Amino acid sequence: MASAGYRIGIVGATGQVGKEFLRILGEGPRDGLPVGELRLFASERSAGTVVHALGRDWEVGLAAPDPDRFAGLDMVLTAIGDELALEYGPAIARSGAVNVDKSNAWRMHPDVPLVVPEVNPEAAAGHFGIIAGPNCSTTQMVVALWPLHRANPIRRVIVDTYQAVSGTGWRAVDELRDQAAAIARGDAITPRVYPHQIAQNVIAEIGGLRDGGDFSEELKMVDETRKIMGVPDLAIQATCVRVPVMVGHSEAIHVEFTREMPPDEARAILKQAPGIVVVDDPKAHAYPTPLDAAGRDPVYVGRIRRDASHPRGLSMWVVADNVRKGAALNAVQTFELLARRGWLHGNRGARDPFATRAAAVAS
């Protein structure tokens, strides 16, 4: 670390996750992550623009998967597409910086930790220069499940998601806004981002269709949850649905435990867990909503109740800001974790599991 703070880079600095990352840093000094230098990178379309963050202006440089571009940096967030992330990750690792990547590219790689700091912080210690952040819908679910699992091992999870359009990107946010305005005017609607109109509708399709009838978002939640929680045979079934909400994913989660767990016990555990706020007073109409969660850090949990269909089951309602906690904040917290524990170097030097990929990109 430089004497004035950590040197941080962002690839995809003008995208929605990059902007949220800068917004979080700009909200005030973070004791675990003093910033001494920022280097912002983006594609040709945005390179050369100026971004105001942390009280000053920063020029956005042209991104390239070249280790020299990241030389001297301590940490680099990449908020880019999967194919680009496969190129940038090894280049950043070879520069000596730690790459925390928000794409799907590295999540299931056996040599890449998939980290949610409230759940599996120790996994970050063994990195080889790349750490993956999970899908936003997975992130909030495991934050809520983990403290319960530690007290009473989970045997099965059924989750149904209600995911905001910002999970697709700002083009989808614009489409929802435009469609709502078109409906008010009585104009015809032609969907562009989604296969169906999203305004006044729900779409039971997120990602690509896979063999067996699941969409890729659903499989991500299964695979990522198993890896993060360290339970490779955990029984999980997910149904992921896009809803006409701008920001904030909601999830109805049904959990089967090893032993019976009364709702009051679950509430007490969750109230003491890091990163969670319990909002659970249905008589007063108090439960989490995406509107209340937007722009805030916690994962909100409510509607904690017995599952009448199973003697060891509980149901709960989990809501979080998908862009903030689901992506940008999780990366900030991962950087803070590395800094606090002295894990910037990780396991590098033992071997380079990305050498083949790096050589292929260089050629």
Active-site annotation, residues: 136, 249
Enumerate residues 6+ apart whose C-beta is below 8 A from 113: 120, 123, 124, 126, 127, 131, 132
Tell me the three state secondary structure of residue 209: strand
Long-range contacts of 200-205 (CB under 8 A, 24+ apart): 200/244, 201/244, 202/162, 202/241, 202/242, 202/243, 202/244, 203/241, 203/242, 204/239, 204/240, 204/241, 205/242
Nearest to 246 by CA among 193, 329, 167: 167
**Rounded to an integer, what distance in angstroms lies between the CA atom of residue 226 and that of residue 107?**
12
3-state secondary structure of 256: strand
Write the Ramachandran bin of 165: left for phi over 0, alpha for psi from -120 to 50, otherwise beta.
Answer: alpha
Report the C-alpha gap between 108 and 126 in whole angstroms.
Answer: 15
145 contacts 229 by C-beta, under 8 angstroms: yes
Whether 159 contacts 224, CB under 8 Å: no
- Which helix or strand (DSSP H or E) is residue 62 part of? strand 56-62
Residues near 102 by beta carbon (within 8 Å), at least 6 away in sequence: 17, 77, 78, 79, 133, 327, 331
Measured torsion, CA atoms of residues 211, 243, 161, 309, in degrees rounded to the nearest 10: -100
Cβ–Cβ < 8 Å for 93, 350: no
